[in-house]
Amino acid sequence: MPIYAYECARCGEAFETLVSSSNTDAPACPACGAAEVKRLLSAPTIGGGVKAATQRARSAAAKEGHFSNYKKSELKGKL
Ligand SMILES: [Zn+2]
């Protein structure tokens, strides 16, 4: 699942979230609960940047029991 960065239109809170392809609804702001959030087109720079976001996506994928976020070379020894 891709990670999208959002910014709340009401309070300005910036956050990022995993969005599944089956769910295209924008998430609610975690700070104020507003539904008026806009998706940021730039790569997420919150919480350590893209590397950290990738890491989170990978650990989430690992929890779900698949390794789609890993490169082929990284799968060696994991399966
Ligand atoms: Zn907000």
pTM of the full structure: 0.48
**Low-confidence stretches of the chain (pLDDT beneath 70):** 1, 21-24, 42-50, 66-70, 75, 78-79
pLDDT at 55 (0 to 100): 77
Q: In this structure, which amino acid lies at residue 75?
A: L
Could you tell me if 18 and 44 are in contact, meaning their C-beta atoms sit under 8 angstroms apart?
no
Q: How far apart are the CA of 61 and the centre of ligand 1, in A?
A: 28
pLDDT at 67 (0 to 100): 58
pLDDT at 50 (0 to 100): 66
Phi, psi torsion values for 72, nearest 5 degrees: -55, -40
Q: Is 68 exposed, middle or buried (0-12, 13-18, 19+ CB in 10 A)?
A: exposed
> Roughly how many angstroms between the first and final C-alpha of the chain, as a whole number?
21
pLDDT at 48 (0 to 100): 56
Instruction: Report the 10 Å Cβ neighbour count for 16.
Output: 19
CA angle 50-37-3, nearest 5°?
Answer: 25
pLDDT at 31 (0 to 100): 96
pLDDT at 28 (0 to 100): 92
Q: How far apart are the CA of 27 and the centre of ligand 1, in A?
A: 11
Q: How far apart are the CA of 39 and the centre of ligand 1, in A?
A: 13
